[in-house]
Structure 1
Amino acid sequence: MSLGVIGILHPGEMGAAVAKLLADRGHEVVYASAGRSEATVSRAKEAGLVDAGTVSEVVGRSSVVLSICPPHGAVELAREVAGYGGTYVDANAVSPDTVRSIAALIEDGGGTFVDGGIVGGPPRREGTRLYLSGAAAEPVAALFADTVLDARTVSDEIGKASALKMAYAAWGKGSAAMLLAIQALARAEGVEDALLAEWELSQPQLAARREGAATSAGHKGWRWIAEMEEIAATFSSAGLPPGFHQAAAEIFARSPRVAQNAPVDLDEVVAALVARNR
């Protein structure tokens, strides 16, 4: 196993952008094209990644493996590489309990586990942070030195990076869902125009936030359902009410799914939320 090789599972928009930073630093970064879409393969090529063919080949060649995938697939992906003996970094939006279960899968197989949480968009410019926790977090953070991704170690305890990610996303994505839900409520009750007029007077900043919430729901809402469920589980484990984000998961589930580069109509998103109640 070459110490210079890093594996990425699987290079979606975020994963490909993170992997590109490592490739640009001179690391050989490998991924598995088997079973992946043409879009994934195209992203990987543009990022300068090397196709290792299969997941087993990726883990066989890599000293460090990064898992960056939709949260609903994080546990299964870890099961797929059980027995990997290198450093496995789970940078997915999952609860502390979920990440500890993933850590057990990796560590029971002889690997080293690092907990990660990404705040911000795909790191093509400064402004995105990768929070890390675990005994081996510092060497992973060092991989991103002198890149636009700000890698920060927050603790040597597994679960802390994920807890921070859950707390951060609880507001950003959870409040977006609530804003859409409130406008849908006003429409269902026949007071939408009056509410929007009042918001224009007293909360003018909400106009841009509503548009942004609708765009996110249309483009990314399907990926955020499991993340809201993970946040709800985090609240529950802390002895706090999970209902806020269980409801947010339902809002994103009801939202129409719109192609990534297509415009999203706020009115259509609100209409879809209301229609489910009819």
Structure 2
Amino acid sequence: MMRIAIIGFGEAGQIYARDLAGAADVRVWDKKFPGLHADTLRGLAVKSGVQPAASLADALDGASLVLSLVTAASAFDVAEQAAPLLRTGQVFLDFNSVSPETKRAAANAVAAGAGHYVDVAVMAPVPPKRLATPLLIGGAEASSVTQKLSMLGCNARAASERIGDVSAIKMCRSVMIKGLEALTTECLSAARQYGVEEAVLDSLHASFPSLGWNDRLPHYLISRVAEHGVRRAEEMGEVVKTLQDVGVTAAMSQATQQVQARLPAIMGKKNIPYNDFSPFIWQNVVDSLK
């Protein structure tokens, strides 16, 4: 049975660990394992049918595929730490949402050792599709890795032999997707304060009737900011870098980064956890934060 190492045991890491456990021997490592909540996280790993590793080196030992599913801020550091530990034939799959230049720097770090580096772009939220979440694969090993991932049940497609291309696709897409989330949050927060949200939503629905402005779309878009804004703001920092690296002004993406970070920050200051809003109704969120 193939051995897989998963680095990062957050939301996405937990989903991939749990769903791959039946098809592979999975070990997981997270920098929080030695910390305050170590017992809880390790217990969750065991409950998921995977083995919590004692260290990064222990997680990588004997693994054919190494999946890095950490935060954008930690992505390069993890690649750099893993590089000297990788052995011939091991493949480091960088799932993280960072700029093409960050991916290339990580690839160079891995190339200095014995392992192979593969660029992975996760093209939709991992929940609810889980392993069916579309993945774009880039790098010299893209075709062979895509075959392995597909055999494991992943929805993977080899898209380029160059490191950075699939991440450029993901980052440019995020300008629009995360920007739409931020614009909706800003637009409807103000509309609610003025008492005109119904008229605004009716107007948006009239202009874009297929999107669902009169249904669940506003709730979904704002929920993404409320639940994942901190992580999305980190990603938008990498989007800004992606644009600036090719001389594109990143004014809109910089503003998106600020809006994505602001809503969860206010919720934190008021000690209002995301789970308090179930089901998630955007009006309730805006009202609670007045």
Which TM-score tier does this pair reach, normalised by the shorter chain?
A: 0.7 to 0.9
2:20 to 7, 19, 22: 22
Map of 2:61 onto structure 1? 60
Map of 2:182 onto structure 1? 177
Map of 2:108 onto structure 1? 104
1:198 to 200, 203, 222: 203
Question: 1:203 & 1:105 partners in 2: Cα distance?
Answer: 46
Which amino acid in structure 2 is aligned with residue 15 of structure 1?
A: G
Map of 1:82 onto structure 2? 83
Mapped contact 2:277–2:285 kept (Cα < 8 A): no
**Aligned-residue offset at 1:9:** 0.2
Q: Do the aligned partners of residues 151 and 189 (structure 1) sit closer, same or farther apart at CA in structure 2, a change above 3 Å counting? A: same
**Aligned-residue offset at 1:177:** 1.0
**Aligned-residue offset at 1:189:** 7.0
Q: Do the aligned partners of residues 127 and 4 (structure 1) sit closer, same or farther apart at CA in structure 2, a change above 3 Å counting? A: closer
Could you say what secondary structure the match of 2:66 adopts? Answer: strand
Q: Do the aligned partners of residues 5 and 251 (structure 1) sit closer, same or farther apart at CA in structure 2, a change above 3 Å counting? A: same
1:91 to 79, 85, 95: 95
Which amino acid in structure 1 is aligned with residue 17 of structure 2?
A: A
Which structure 2 residues correspond to residues 191-270 of structure 1 after superposition, within 5 A?
192=197, 194-196=199-201, 198-199=203-204, 202-203=207-208, 205-207=212-214, 208-256=216-264, 257=267, 258-260=273-275, 262-263=277-278, 264-267=280-283, 269-270=285-286
Q: Do the aligned partners of residues 122 and 146 (structure 1) sit closer, same or farther apart at CA in structure 2, a change above 3 Å counting? A: farther
Q: Which moved more, 1:157-166 or 1:263-272?
A: 263-272
Gaps of 5+ in 2: 268-272
**Aligned-residue offset at 1:253:** 1.0
Cα deviation code 1:147-172 (max 9, x no counterpart) = 54211110110011211221233322
Q: Do the aligned partners of residues 125 and 196 (structure 1) sit closer, same or farther apart at CA in structure 2, a change above 3 Å counting? A: closer
**Aligned-residue offset at 1:38:** 4.8
1:116 to 103, 117, 120: 120
Mapped contact 1:123–1:148 kept (Cα < 8 A): no
CA RMSD of the aligned region, Å?
2.8
Q: Which moved more, 1:204-213 or 1:66-75?
A: 204-213
Q: Do the aligned partners of residues 202 and 5 (structure 1) sit closer, same or farther apart at CA in structure 2, a change above 3 Å counting? A: closer
Q: Do the aligned partners of residues 272 and 80 (structure 1) sit closer, same or farther apart at CA in structure 2, a change above 3 Å counting? A: farther
Map of 2:135 onto structure 1? 130
Which amino acid in structure 2 is aligned with residue 63 of structure 1?
A: S
Q: Which moved more, 1:254-263 or 1:85-94?
A: 254-263
Question: 1:168 & 1:55 partners in 2: Cα distance?
Answer: 32
Cα deviation code 1:12-64 (max 9, x no counterpart) = 22122223343222x21111343464553344224321122111211233232
Question: 2:191 & 2:246 partners in 1: Cα distance?
Answer: 32
Which amino acid in structure 2 is aligned with residue 81 of structure 1?
A: A
**Aligned-residue offset at 1:254:** 0.8
**Aligned-residue offset at 1:247:** 1.0
Q: Which moved more, 1:186-195 or 1:68-77?
A: 186-195
- TM-score in terms of structure 1 length: 0.84
Could you say what secondary structure the match of 2:149 adopts? Answer: coil
Gaps of 5+ in 1: none
Q: Do the aligned partners of residues 82 and 99 (structure 1) sit closer, same or farther apart at CA in structure 2, a change above 3 Å counting? A: same
Over the matched positions of the two proteins, sequence identity in percent amounts to 28
Q: Do the aligned partners of residues 235 and 17 (structure 1) sit closer, same or farther apart at CA in structure 2, a change above 3 Å counting? A: same
Aligned length: 271
Could you say what secondary structure the match of 1:245 adopts? Answer: helix
Q: Do the aligned partners of residues 260 and 147 (structure 1) sit closer, same or farther apart at CA in structure 2, a change above 3 Å counting? A: farther
Question: 1:233 & 1:93 partners in 2: Cα distance?
Answer: 12
Map of 1:161 onto structure 2? 166
Could you say what secondary structure the match of 1:135 adopts? Answer: coil
1:149 aligns with 2:150: no
Question: 1:84 & 1:126 partners in 2: Cα distance?
Answer: 27
Map of 1:72 onto structure 2? 73
Mapped contact 2:17–2:28 kept (Cα < 8 A): no
